Amino acid sequence: MLFIPRMLKDIALIFAGNGKQSFLVGGAVRDMLRGEKAHDFDLATDATPEEVAAMFRALGRGAKGCSVIPTGVKHGTVTVHFKGEAFEITTFRTESEYRDGRHPEKVVYAATIEEDLSRRDFTMNAVALELPKGRVVDPFNGRADIQNGVIRCVGSPLERFSEDGLRSLRCVRFASQFGFSIDKETLAAIPQTLSITAKVAAERKRDELDKIIGSRKPSTGFLLMEQTGLLHELLPELAGCRNVEQKGGHRFDVLDHSLLACDFAAEKGWPHEVRLAALFHDIGKPVVCAVNEFGVRTFYRHDREGAALARNILSRFRYSNAVIDTVVHLIEEHMFQYTEDWSDAAVRRFIIRVGKAHLPKLYKLRHADAFATAGEPPRPDFLIPLMDRANRVLDEKKALSLKGLAISGKDIIDMGVTPGPRIGIILNELLEAVLDDPELNTKEKLLEIAGKMKDKA
Ligand code: ATP
Ligand code: MG
């Protein structure tokens, strides 16, 4: 018997008090059966959304912390906040006719939980727990599939993937998240329904990609995508990295190298942007690949090309500008070649170009890149000399931006320069001088240099 949390029992009593049924459904049941913590609670009921809203509104007047949000009344869903937790409560439904492969044409309410479960994607997601007692309703043997670690469509895979093209991507996403295998017939239906997946809204696909990238071993999902044709459909740029061989210390082709870098970042629990950058950092390589006069493959400017391609890909999937800018910037900067003979000025310029806030992420990307080159941990200290130098330069608190200069635009105007773009040009030249020689960063010395610049202009 599964342990039913107290608040679920409390909520179920409210339904029962109103003569209505309630079931815990979807991911929460699946995750409890997997022995994991449930992270969001979806309930199914025979009450209509209006009845659910009325029940909890009536309660809300008396109880603190209870509120009702009509999230998707059109789809039969109401969100209820109760005892500090959010519950998505959906009236039993069946979904009729998906004419565009994206959205059901219309939502039709169903009479029973069994009917509601039959419209769900996979057997593991089609198990319900009747509340408050916890009786299991499992018409498609989802429990056995969970126990055996198998993902299997409810009913005919070809039909289910044809109704909604996102389901095939959800299938490989779950495989990546849980390390489950995909039933043969379900797997075979994916390549046959790629044209349906093509029609799915970019945001929905992005959310699934994010979950693959957020899983413990993203390569599982991406290799399944490659095997089924989903990779070519969604990310042809990445699919094109297969069999692009590399020389030097590289052991893998560009695709396996990229996946290994992403896995490494995931294993370390590094931020999402680092994982995305690891996945796409060499995506420019197939485009710029050339063979030089010695018969050696070169990938000149693959960082620039890769940054531009990554911007296209991420925009296509409607990532936020903040994510796009960070990932693109990391890719653009990932080829730095630090040697001990860098001057302090070179270190300062590196910090300014990368940006102090991005340094830790860039180091992580480079670490993942180095690991994925040989497939074994890089010397642990390989980035330390640069990190030490950069930290020392940052500790000196010397001017690393216009704001840190000992004089401002106003001082330049006071010298008689007309306000306008010329002020910025002079300030930037002063910063260049200070980066080379921090001793120059005094008001007196900078005014003197600015005076000479002004006279030259
Ligand atoms: P997660 O752990 O990522 O939240 P989940 O299985 O709970 O996984 P949700 O998107 O929250 O996924 O959906 C809740 C439930 O709704 C699923 O378990 C499944 O029963 C059903 N479901 C969701 N999306 C689909 C779909 N595209 N087709 C059919 N059923 C779906
Ligand atoms: Mg869920």
- Give the model's pLDDT for residue 127: 98
41 & 83 share domain: yes
335 & 387 share domain: yes
Element (H, E) at 25: strand 22-25
Q: Of the candidates 140, 164, 194, which is a domain's last residue?
A: 140
Give the model's confidence band at 1: pLDDT under 50 very low, under 70 low, under 90 confident, else very high: low
**Contact of 215 with 266, CB cutoff 8 Å:** yes
Whether residue 96 is predicted with pLDDT greater than 80 in this model: the reply is no
Residue nearest atom 15 of ligand 1, based on CA coordinates: 26
Q: What angle do CA 450, 349, 405 make, to 5 degrees?
A: 35
**Residue 119 covered by a domain:** yes
Structure tokens at 423: 């002020």
Distance 115 CA to ligand 1 centre (A): 16
Structure tokens at 39: 């992270």
pLDDT 10s digits, 241-272: 999 888 766 788 999 999 999 999 999 999 99
How far is C-alpha 281 from the chain's CA centre?
Answer: 15
Q: Which domain holds residue 353?
A: 268-396
Backbone angles phi, psi at 153, to 5 degrees: -65, 150
Distance 40 CA to ligand 2 centre (A): 6
Give the model's confidence band at 374: pLDDT under 50 very low, under 70 low, under 90 confident, else very high: confident
Residue nearest atom 24 of ligand 1, based on CA coordinates: 121
- Mean of per-residue pLDDT scores for the chain: 91
Give the model's confidence band at 221: pLDDT under 50 very low, under 70 low, under 90 confident, else very high: very high
Q: Of the candidates 140, 163, 191, which is a domain's last residue?
A: 140
| 28 CA closest ligand 1 atom index | 7
Domain count, the chain: 3
**Contact of 191 with 228, CB cutoff 8 Å:** yes
What is the average per-residue pLDDT within 88-111? Answer: 78
pLDDT 10s digits, 57-70: 887 666 667 888 88
Residue nearest atom 5 of ligand 1, based on CA coordinates: 27
What is the average per-residue pLDDT within 158-181? Answer: 97
Provide the pairing of β-strand 41-45 with 85-91: parallel
Whole-number Å distance between alpha carbons of 349 and 435: 7
Residues with CB under 6 A from ligand 1: 26-27, 40, 42, 120-121, 125-126, 164, 166-167
What is the average per-residue pLDDT within 402-410? Answer: 88
Distance 280 CA to ligand 1 centre (A): 28
Nearest one of 51, 43, 82 to 66, comparing CA atoms: 82
Distances (CA, A) of 406 to 328, 410, 439, 443, 445: 33, 12, 11, 5, 9
Q: Of the candidates 112, 140, 168, which is a domain's last residue?
A: 140
pLDDT 10s digits, 317-336: 999 999 999 999 999 999 99
- Give the model's pLDDT for residue 102: 65
Residue nearest atom 9 of ligand 1, based on CA coordinates: 27
Q: How far apart are the first and last CA of the chain?
A: 84
Find the CATH number of the domain harbouring 36: 3.30.460.10
Give the model's confidence band at 72: pLDDT under 50 very low, under 70 low, under 90 confident, else very high: confident
- Give the model's pLDDT for residue 269: 97
